[in-house]
Amino acid sequence: MKCPKCGAVCEEGAKFCPVCGEALPVADPQNQNAEKTVSYCPKCGKPYEGNPAYCPSCGASLLLRNAQNAAHNFGENVNQAFQSGNMNQYFPQSQPGSVPSRSIPLYLILTIVTCGIFGLYWIVCLVNDLNTAAGTQNDTNGIVVLLLDIVTCGIYGLYWMYKAGEKVGMIKQRRGIPVSGNDGILYLILQLIGLGIINYCLIQNEINQVATQA
């Protein structure tokens, strides 16, 4: 969107121009969905539609801009859901004996922006949901796993990641997927090289598959 007064490029949804303060025209809600999304190349300033990987005018890469736009839109959706009080799609509530499908992008972003603090909550959820999905509800719960991981300076976390691979194998067998190896080896290697956050995403994806089919 461009300012009708000074021509400055403004963010979509902005009410006033950040350069001259001019009020920006409000799009008609009835025609808003029909309008095509127009963005501007950060290099040449030419407009383009959709989410191309490269600018059709100058060939500049738009991958970073597309990622920024996606993150901005995601944040707006979360903010709207928060203001409306309907956060169930991001923090779902599950019935007894079932597991919820959790939003991997949201949990990943919250873990990063909180410098890992939200990840503590996520790992507790993963442990409990994985136990439920694999039918091993009597195994160590999430709070105990978290405490043991902290007390042992991460050593117990390595052990749990390996065992998590076995439980993921149980989940796959329940879904009728042949299991040729133990995913715990992969989880253990990723944990050792400091990429435990990837393990969270991989395990959550397997849990979500079960939750989707439930």
Task: Return the domain boundaries, the chain.
Answer: 1-35, 36-84, 104-213
- Write the CB contacts of 27 (distance below 8 Å, at least 6 apart in sequence): 35
Residues for the chain: how many in total?
Answer: 214
Residues 21-57 pLDDT 10s: 777 777 655 444 444 567 888 888 888 887 788 888 8
pLDDT for res 33: 46
**Res. 93 pLDDT band, cuts 50 70 90:** low
pLDDT for res 198: 93
Residue 99 has pLDDT above 70, yes or no: yes
pLDDT for res 84: 64
Write a three-state SS string for the chain: CECCCCCCECCCCCCECCCCCCECCCCCHHHHCCCCCEEECCCCCCEEECCCCECCCCCCECHHHHHHHHHHHHHHHHHHHHHHCCCCCCCCCCCCCCCCCCCHHHHHHHHHHCCCHHHHHHHHHHHHHHHHHHCCCCCCCHHHHHHHHHHCCCHHHHHHHHHHHHHHHHHHHHCCCCCCCCHHHHHHHHHHCCCHHHHHHHHHHHHHHHHHHC
Residues 137-170 pLDDT 10s: 888 899 999 999 999 999 999 999 999 998 998 8
pTM exceeds 0.75, yes or no: no
Higher-confidence residue of 92 and 167: namely 167
